[in-house]
Amino acid sequence: MNDIPSRNNISIGMVVEIVQKHDQRSGKLTSGTVKRILTSSHIHPHGIKVELDSGKIGRVQKIT
């Protein structure tokens, strides 16, 4: 499960699946459209942090 997308693969308007902070233990994914990219570094071991249109914040696990 080390296929976490890097920052240059994520763009605003893209549909992604994120894991929110309170879901990290269960691994529950939330799907949505990227509104803002919050992580400035190119890669992050747990995923690039984004804000979705719904206002939810989490780390990108998959691009759908």
pTM (two decimals):
0.93
Distance CA 44, CA 50 (A): 12
Asked if 47 and 60 count as a contact pair (C-beta separation under 8 A), the reply is: yes
49 in a structural domain: yes
28 in a structural domain: yes
Number of structural domains in the chain: 1
Note down the domain range covering 56: 7-63
Question: Can you give the CATH number for the domain in which 52 is found?
Answer: 2.30.30
Sign of the CA dihedral 53, 58, 60, 62?
A: negative
Give pLDDT tens digits for 1-46.
468 999 999 999 999 999 999 999 999 999 999 999 999 999 999 9
